[in-house]
Structure 1
Amino acid sequence: MRTGLFLLAGFLLLAALLILARLFSTEYPAASRVATIGFVALWLFAAGFNMWVGVAKAGYPVAEELPIFLLVFGLPAVAAVLLKWKLV
């Protein structure tokens, strides 16, 4: 359940940043690039924090948390890069 909520949060954050990039693209042409890079950096921190909570607080070993981290970080990050590459 927690993984699904983190994935949903990642896609919602991506949508919010892409909407902001679209709003600022008339005055700042590189807004979509900055939004994509900013999202990936911010989401790397959030997914890493989620992994840290799983290891330090919940007691899962790193070997069990690493695939979840890759899923939670990878899907929204790949979606961000593909959206930037294809649509913007």
Structure 2
Amino acid sequence: MHTILVLVCGVILLGVFLSFGWLWHMTPFPSAKMLKLFIPVWFGISGWNLWIGVVTAGYSLYEEALVFPQVFLPPVCLALAIMYWL
């Protein structure tokens, strides 16, 4: 359940990045620049989620390393799909 909540938060954060890109009119395609910024930010948040799972929840690093791609990749794939669509 926690993984699903983190994925939903990732998609919401992606929407926030897209919204700010359109509001600030950064380039002719503002979302591409913001989507490129989203990926390292989401990597950091996913890494923080991994660290919290190991330190606080008591999971092993191996268990969290298996969950990390499931948390990191879907929002990033969605961001890349949107970037190439625009």
- TM-score, scaled relative to structure 2: 0.89
CA distance in 1, matches of 2:53, 2:29: 36
Alignment deviations for residues 15-72 of structure 1 (CA, whole Å, 9 cap, x no partner): 11112222333x5325222211111111000000000011112121111111211111
Q: Which residue of 1 aligns with 2:71?
A: 72
Counterpart amino acid of 1:81? Answer: L
Task: Trace 1:20-31 onto structure 2 (pairs within 5 A).
Answer: 20-25=20-25, 28-31=27-30
Counterpart amino acid of 2:31? Answer: S
CA distance in 2, matches of 1:85, 1:22: 16
CA distance in 2, matches of 1:54, 1:20: 30
Cα root mean square deviation, aligned: 1.4
Q: Which residue of 2 aligns with 1:56?
A: 55
The number of aligned residues is 86
Counterpart amino acid of 1:14? Answer: L
- Secondary structure class of the residue paired with 1:7: helix
Runs of 5+ consecutive residues of structure 1 not aligned to the other structure: none
Q: Which residue of 2 aligns with 1:37?
A: 36
The share of aligned pairs that are identical, in percent, is 33
